[in-house]
Structure 1
């Protein structure tokens, strides 16, 4: 610990003077070392020069950019100590779970602590001898009231482990990196590892050169990384074509940070000039198409949400959950484009894309929540569902549909309606939103999005669309809209009996229902729910979870299935009246044996063909 502090102090005083730009105060400095990486620990010292007079409070965050629920990052720091600039101890008191106070202090204050991290994803920290995967809110304490101060980092032990630094932080010198303020720092995930990289130069439509690249920590060879980078380049160009230009990335560069290994947790998290992608695949080789979906989605965010930004997320508050009405647009429209652009890029066929379309349509037509709640309410619910943790049971299956797919289905419908009713496209709309809000840096509200649509089409259409499908629960006619592109929307299991999806496990002589049944299913309507133990179904003893599928495999809608079950109120009999599944599938007219007109061919081509010139 003493050695770590001396390194931190020496590094701080070496670099502090360089931050005196235009009278700005000295930067807050972090020294980050890894003497116990094999056991998932880092040692961090935060040095605060020119500490404000009076009581100084420092804290860990409780939320993270791109995540909307609350996360208790303070649980994974310990050995918290404070000293002055000479190393003399100061009294530091933990006044809340994640807040510490130093009541009396000199001008220079050092706060040191041990950080534990063994969960590499888009939100948390993962440390071992192979890497340090750092999401900043989960890793670094910060001073309350000091958000405008510049920040510097010294990442130590790089040579010891053979690590390089991959980050959107500005490289100052050697192992030192910087951020202009707390908001930028918290938005800058950092991977310390033996990353393999591939960078390329891209000339934006304004003539400015930008450096784009991937930095991958995986078990792939360099040739695989280089080949994958070429695939990523195609996606990058296709996404730029939607908006007509790329953003002006800070420091002139954008990096895809990718960590691929079975020990990490699948995720993708957008940031202003980078994205953090984490996959539990064995390696990139052989999984390129699978991984491209995350790349496509997250890169689209460099426009939509990082710069086309809802006012509800400005500024991002790191002390509690950040609620937004606009996630159906920020995440949902991005979800639509992330998948659709893989078709335009040539990586997925139209036949492969039909499954994605069906998933979007089913999310709003076959699930119960969209029949009761609009996209705005599902957006607000993100404070509970976006990687939020609940010990108690929830009723999400009946009251929540993800704003990703709800918004994605809305984007699909709007795109097809603009094409069929106005000879416009969703690309035209996104470009206008970009020019009005993203490029200018103005945060938007839902009325702003409606106003842009009204100018592009007409105020009446925009008012009706937002009233019906954004604030309301009306659903678009997907069958008619998809037919314009020669795509057939039809029932996935016509004429087959269906009772709904049932989660169960063997228990107490039968099958216990382990999850809430869904309100638009026959089994729910029969009065059966979580905790009930099914003893017999259709006259057969219920011993295996396959008993439910076996009971309906030869039955039709309208057929009845007798069920014997018990719960805390005693033994019961029920009758499940089977229905036809509400789920749809989408197939091309060609596969369905229907003739495709030239108009439909042109519509589909204009929609799904490459826009890169």
Structure 2
């Protein structure tokens, strides 16, 4: 049975906030949009009478859930301070995100500043004629040391904007006015202002909202809300507890992508064209599922290093693979369990994650633990060599989650699963306590009935190749083969290949034309090239590939093969026709200099990672597969 836990009734919360405000006056903000066409918001902040002759202003440098220092203070302009709105006060900048204001004792201090808002993402700000998308960390200055003080915000919206939407508690009798109990809640509550299309629904006895802003004319928002409702119901049932009293899905039609989790809301971005494209709409549902799963895993159940945020510096943890990777594992599993996708679609989506991992050379360089710890300097700062030097804790975490789930099911003869481990971890370590790596290992060992430390060490702390065979055998799955390797019906479950070719990454330009649809092998040299241009510009070189060994570089422009001119449409076919294993002269331009480099193409790697059920599973294996895809 689901236990609905209301932290407090809304009326009680409003009363508490009112009493708290009397004891400790709130920091008060007014956000207006007089220059919205120029992408500016104007912010006025009133600081209650300071007890000393100075106050120190601080602005966060990052947003929880997006692990990169983003230097939000760079968008602050025209910062001024006055006493009671009259006498100007001295402001001295003391660091990249802090200012010291000299002020008289006994008078309120009024701070004003302009904020440039022209980055459409789920962790930054956007303002234009049609709407505003604001994130707390990127928007609000606060007073250092006043983190526990209430923050009261009023949005002075233009007349042609009908709504402001946020998960913050609304102040009764004041349109567009909200209260955050503290700085954490302010930063955790994104805001939409404009004319969103709003769909309300109930799940688990709790009100939910899907608010879609932007051009939603091609979206059936009522159907989208119904699908989201199914995701919500399935995940509430999974966890067995509803830890919020209200929830808002803020959906921005922005022609961008991404999502970010919050305690009582989530902010997601998508395209107007995605609803009517089945696969892309499923991608959106997967994104919603991922961010909503975070309501439990990472928002209320956190690695111990993230239980108390420091908003001014990196907060490193080796457990992002649990927070993000296992969430990535469950995002699509929840869709198939909710009946929003079928078994075939789910296996296809899981296969993509496995293929991304197995065709990424960086998996041999960086462990899951290292990937988690270095997210601040690597994952969010990709470059042309990233695929060679790092692994994604989202992707590998998802795949390890799959193997871990199957391992627990096998060890317990399907009596327990990773589902049980996640629920037990939540029961014991949600809230301010958090969990350590050893805590997580202990939970897994308890659920599995055996010590899981060695298994975790191999999969999380090393770069050893993953062994898929036990999971495939237990669930009755196999990797489909290409035509040259036999028919689907003839192929049984396969182990992960260990040959060097399997460690090479297919060039990005071949992803949409899989080898199993070709009669002839393709030549391959291990480069990725830019799209949208007639020129062939190298954007990536795979380690240990022919291009890497020959000395081709990122930013080289390929002009010709064996003196035959090439362009972005023809070079792949030309490469194949010139012969696999034959040395060719590649004419390039490098920093304005023309030179020739000899390269010997090889056959394009043809390893396949498409999960399919085995041809003739036993009834027992069928039952295992069905239970995995349907279990709580």
TM-score interval, smaller chain: 0.7 to 0.9
Matched residue SS, 1:481: helix
**Please, which moves more after superposition, 349-358 or 178-187?**
349-358
* Alignment-derived partner of residue 344 in structure 2: 351
Does residue 363 (structure 1) correspond to residue 385 (structure 2)? The answer is no
Asked if 2 retains the 8 angstrom alpha-carbon contact of 1:500 and 1:581, the reply is no
Please give the residue correspondences for 1:113-512 in structure 2 after superposition, counting only pairs within 5 Å. Answer: 113-157=113-157, 160-173=159-172, 174=174, 175-203=176-204, 209-220=205-216, 224-246=220-242, 248-249=243-244, 252-262=245-255, 265-282=256-273, 284=275, 288-385=281-378, 387-388=380-381, 395-422=385-412, 423=414, 424-438=416-430, 440-460=431-451, 462-490=452-480, 493=515, 496-499=521-524, 501-504=526-529
Change (3 A) 1:586 1:123: same
For residues 467 and 505 of structure 1, what CA distance do their matches in structure 2 show? 39
* Alignment-derived partner of residue 493 in structure 2: none
TM-score by length of 1: 0.86
Q: 1:290 deviation in Å? A: 3.5
Does residue 529 (structure 1) correspond to residue 553 (structure 2)? The answer is yes
Per-residue CA deviation, residues 327-364 of structure 1 (Å, 9 max, x unaligned), is 11111111111122111222222222233222222233
For residues 231 and 276 of structure 2, what CA distance do their matches in structure 1 show? 18
* Alignment-derived partner of residue 573 in structure 2: 550
Per-residue CA deviation, residues 2-51 of structure 1 (Å, 9 max, x unaligned), is xxxxxxxxxxxxx9997453974211110111122222221111111032
Matched residue SS, 1:259: strand
Q: 1:530 deviation in Å? A: 1.8
Asked if 1 retains the 8 angstrom alpha-carbon contact of 2:65 and 2:261, the reply is yes
Matched residue SS, 2:609: strand
For residues 288 and 439 of structure 2, what CA distance do their matches in structure 1 show? 28
Change (3 A) 1:551 1:379: farther
For residues 48 and 366 of structure 2, what CA distance do their matches in structure 1 show? 50
For residues 563 and 470 of structure 2, what CA distance do their matches in structure 1 show? 44
TM-score by length of 2: 0.84
**Please, which moves more after superposition, 296-305 or 423-432?**
423-432
Asked if 2 retains the 8 angstrom alpha-carbon contact of 1:261 and 1:282, the reply is no
For residues 527 and 18 of structure 1, what CA distance do their matches in structure 2 show? 65
Change (3 A) 1:541 1:442: same
Structure 2 unaligned spans of 5+: 1-13, 483-514
For residues 588 and 512 of structure 1, what CA distance do their matches in structure 2 show? 37
Asked if 2 retains the 8 angstrom alpha-carbon contact of 1:77 and 1:113, the reply is yes
For residues 596 and 73 of structure 2, what CA distance do their matches in structure 1 show? 48
Matched residue SS, 2:65: coil
For residues 553 and 487 of structure 1, what CA distance do their matches in structure 2 show? 34
Per-residue CA deviation, residues 136-164 of structure 1 (Å, 9 max, x unaligned), is 11111111121111111111135x12331
* Alignment-derived partner of residue 507 in structure 2: none
Per-residue CA deviation, residues 42-93 of structure 1 (Å, 9 max, x unaligned), is 1111111032414322132211121111112112221111011252211112
* Alignment-derived partner of residue 21 in structure 1: 20
Does residue 601 (structure 1) correspond to residue 622 (structure 2)? The answer is yes
Change (3 A) 1:523 1:350: farther
Aligned length: 573
Asked if 2 retains the 8 angstrom alpha-carbon contact of 1:19 and 1:25, the reply is no
Asked if 2 retains the 8 angstrom alpha-carbon contact of 1:512 and 1:530, the reply is no
Q: 1:489 deviation in Å? A: 1.1
Change (3 A) 1:489 1:552: farther
* Alignment-derived partner of residue 581 in structure 1: 605
* Alignment-derived partner of residue 45 in structure 1: 44
Q: 1:435 deviation in Å? A: 1.1
Change (3 A) 1:339 1:275: same
Change (3 A) 1:285 1:28: farther
RMSD, aligned CA: 2.9
For residues 450 and 47 of structure 2, what CA distance do their matches in structure 1 show? 53
Asked if 2 retains the 8 angstrom alpha-carbon contact of 1:67 and 1:123, the reply is yes
Change (3 A) 1:563 1:413: farther
Matched residue SS, 1:111: strand
For residues 372 and 302 of structure 2, what CA distance do their matches in structure 1 show? 14
For residues 90 and 150 of structure 1, what CA distance do their matches in structure 2 show? 24
Asked if 1 retains the 8 angstrom alpha-carbon contact of 2:35 and 2:41, the reply is yes
Q: 1:228 deviation in Å? A: 1.7
Change (3 A) 1:583 1:303: farther
Asked if 2 retains the 8 angstrom alpha-carbon contact of 1:498 and 1:580, the reply is yes
